[in-house]
Amino acid sequence: MIGKRIREARQARGMTQAALAKGIASRTYISAIEIGRIKPSAENLKAIAERLEEHLDYFLPGRLEETLHRFETNLNQAKALLATGELVAASPPHCHGVRRESRCTSSKVAAATIAHLQLI
């Protein structure tokens, strides 16, 4: 999927693989990405996106939506925790840094954050 999007953006600009690759990688590297044989590193994908004047989201469809969906789910769970008074289980000493207790889920951390923001 990434390779197909790179090829489409490159061709839409009338750019050759060699022109896209210049200063980033080899033409064969770009070719391998476009045919789906390899995936670009994050650094190379950023450079390719800049060269093609596209946002990274264009090359990673679904990732943004997936992240937003997870956030919305966690936010809803956090609101439910606040409503049931389980905020104590998400207190900062238990959930900051390395997670020492399994009860420190992202939902509980989000609940603590929401409570904190409501106090500000």
Q: Mind listing the pLDDT tens digit for each residue in 61-88?
A: 666 667 667 777 777 777 777 777 665 5
Domain boundary among 10, 25, 59: 59
Residue 52: Cβ within 10 Å count:
19
> Which position has the higher pLDDT, 76 or 45?
45
Kindly state the DSSP code that residue 89 receives in the 8-state scheme. Answer: G
Split at pLDDT 50, 70, 90, the class of 101 is: very low
Q: How far apart are CA 22 and CA 28, in angstroms?
A: 11
Range of the domain at 101: 63-119
Q: Indicate if 78 and 47 belong to the same structural domain.
A: no
